[in-house]
Amino acid sequence: TIEEFRFLLNYRFDSESPMALVLVGQSELWEDKLRLKRYDAVRQRIDINCVLPHLDRAETEKYIQSHLAYAGIIDRELFSRRAIDDIFRLSCGIPRLINRICEKSLMYGCQQNLRIIDDQDVVYVSEHEMLKGGESS
């Protein structure tokens, strides 16, 4: 729990902490949990808080291409430019949503034997396929 982190961070040797804790997650952790009065002691031990901004259109395309390259897709276009435009528009540049839209679009494209995912496919997926399994899957 969050309170246990406070105990771990309390130990200091020669006025230096032997431990650094990096918390990574959605902003709800900071906005909801750590603003509670009972977590004042934990919040006081946070030295740096960094919020990453949403990706812009160019960053979204690079983000998608880097994931495809990591999967071994380097010399083949899987998403049309207009598809990437719609992925950016629908995701607002939020990486978690970019991942979800791309994953659902690729699964749809595979089911339909598509060689390239275009903007119509992305819109279809966002309107139909993304309703399955709830927003958090």
Identify the structural domains of the chain with CATH numbers, from first to last: 2-43 (no CATH), 57-131 (1.10.8.60)
Average confidence score pLDDT of the chain: 84
With beta carbons less than 8 A apart as the criterion, state whether 98 and 91 touch: yes
Exposure class string for 113-133: b at 16+ Cβ within 10 A, else e? eeeebbbebbbebbeebbeee
- pTM over 0.85? The answer is no
- Between CA 23 and CA 10 the distance in angstroms is 16
- pLDDT for 135: 47
Q: What is the pLDDT of residues 35-83, one digit of tens each?
A: 788 878 777 777 777 788 999 999 999 999 999 999 999 889 999 999 9
Percent of the chain clearing pLDDT 70 (strictly above): 81
Choose between 38 and 13: higher pLDDT: 38
